[in-house]
Amino acid sequence: MNYTKEQILARCNEFSKNTLMETLKIEYIDAGEDFLTAKMPVNPSVHQPMGLLHGGASVALAESVGSAASFFFINPKEQEVRGIEISANHLKSIREGYVFGTARIIHKGRSLHLWEIKITDEEGNLVSLCKLTNMVLERKKRE
């Protein structure tokens, strides 16, 4: 990556405006050479009917952080990223507080990026383990 931590976090939080990430109150909070971390509050707006964090909200956090992380490995003037597959294993329930999604690169190819995203609670307990595959596409020329 050719960006500072501050540039990465500012860019991610900026392009989240008026999106699902803003609706879920996802905030990017840490970044490094091979990872990106975001947090999301756990409250009734992301609960399933039993009052627990909805698995779909966890997957939305995972895909958001993994896709954003791929963006920093491409040339955004010539390429774009599309998530093509995501899987999740939900291991622990949570009712309130925050969850943190940390994406770490497993494979960085020219056309595919594979990410492992660990979602943890405030104590560092693993809530969900996700895997995301992103495809890197050439940006179509607009006439």
Q: Kindly list the catalytic residues.
A: 63
CB 46 within 8 A of CB 54: yes
Neighbouring C-alpha atoms within 13 Å toward the C-beta of 40: 33
Q: 72-99 b/e with 16+ CB inside 10 Å = b?
A: bbbeeeebbbebeebebebeeebeeebb
Two tokens, residue 41: 């509050």
Residue type for position 137: L
Tell me the torsion sign for CA atoms 1, 109, 86, 14: positive
Strand partners, 116: 104, 131
